[in-house]
């Protein structure tokens, strides 16, 4: 039910997560469009990246060999700049920030995937984020074998994507542990479904929060006759 006085969607921080190949990035624009159709100022961004400095760190991160501590320091350095330059100002002015990956990725990839010390990651998280956490995390969950098949079909692999299936199994388990630890923040999306069903579930997870007013103009109706 949509209340007569719409809840404010502004100032919300929404992150999108999942193992490489789960398909999350292909749905982010649609999620942003859905919110914009409801009059919400949406800032679409990503990690590592989102500022000129953080994008340069991303390039190093994805392509230069390095140890897990260096990985963690680079993603948190990029995150610090991203928070200061983009995320916090956008949230302060009442925008919704929709971010392709955030700190759950660090716990999943560097923590669970690489086996890096979770206590050190938590310390870095405290220093860098000063308490900032996402309000909602859409977790696109997919079996690592299927994710590898999808990746191979669409793109050449970067340094992380060249990791083997056991790495992505650990990363997926890392996401599952994060979701279990803070279930109210997480919405698990079954990414094995058809593209349309995945998109519908992701939008439903956003809509369920009750943050959004009615659309400003009618959205095209879905064609139920095909069902």
Question: Residues in the site for ligand TMP, rule: CB under 6 A?
Answer: 20, 46-48, 75, 100-101, 105-106, 109-110, 160-161
Nearest approach, Cβ of residue 51 and ligand TMP (Å): 14
Distances from the Cα of 79 to the Cα of 10, 53, 142, 180, 187, angstroms:
21, 10, 26, 24, 23
Nearest approach, Cβ of residue 192 and ligand TMP (Å): 18
Nearest approach, Cβ of residue 31 and ligand TMP (Å): 15
Nearest approach, Cβ of residue 201 and ligand TMP (Å): 19
Q: Are strands 13-17 and 96-100 parallel, antiparallel or unpaired?
A: parallel
Could you give phi then psi for residue 76, rounded to 5 degrees? -75, -30
Looking at the Cβ atoms of 1 and 153, the one nearer to ligand TMP is: 153
Closest CA to 71 of 54, 85, 84, 58: 58
Looking at the Cβ atoms of 54 and 187, the one nearer to ligand TMP is: 54
Looking at the Cβ atoms of 160 and 200, the one nearer to ligand TMP is: 160
Nearest approach, Cβ of residue 207 and ligand TMP (Å): 24
Looking at the Cβ atoms of 34 and 109, the one nearer to ligand TMP is: 109
Looking at the Cβ atoms of 161 and 201, the one nearer to ligand TMP is: 161
């Amino acid at each position: 039910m949509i209340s007569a006085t719409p809840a404010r969607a502004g100032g919300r921080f929404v992150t999108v997560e999942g193992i490489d190949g789960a398909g999350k990035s292909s749905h982010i624009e649609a999620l942003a469009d859905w919110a914009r159709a409801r009059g919400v100022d949406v800032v679409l961004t990503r990690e590592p990246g989102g500022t000129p400095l953080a994008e340069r760190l991303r390039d190093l991160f994805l392509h230069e060999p390095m140890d897990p501590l260096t990985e963690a320091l680079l993603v948190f350095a990029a995150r610090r700049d991203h928070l200061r330059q983009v995320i916090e100002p956008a949230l302060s002015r009442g925008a919704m920030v929709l971010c392709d990956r955030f700190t759950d990725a660090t716990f999943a990839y560097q923590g669970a995937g690489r086996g890096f010390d979770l206590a050190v990651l938590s310390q870095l998280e405290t220093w860098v984020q000063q308490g900032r956490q996402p309000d909602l995390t859409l977790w696109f969950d997919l079996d690592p074998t299927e994710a590898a098949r999808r990746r191979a079909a669409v793109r050449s692999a970067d340094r992380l994507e060249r990791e083997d299936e056991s790495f992505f199994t650990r990363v997926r388990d890392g996401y599952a542990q994060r979701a279990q630890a803070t279930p109210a923040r997480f919405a698990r999306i079954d990414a094995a479904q058809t593209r349309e069903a995945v998109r519908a579930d992701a939008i439903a997870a956003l809509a369920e929060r009750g943050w959004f007013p009615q659309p400003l103009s009618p959205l095209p109706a879905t064609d139920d006759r095909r069902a």
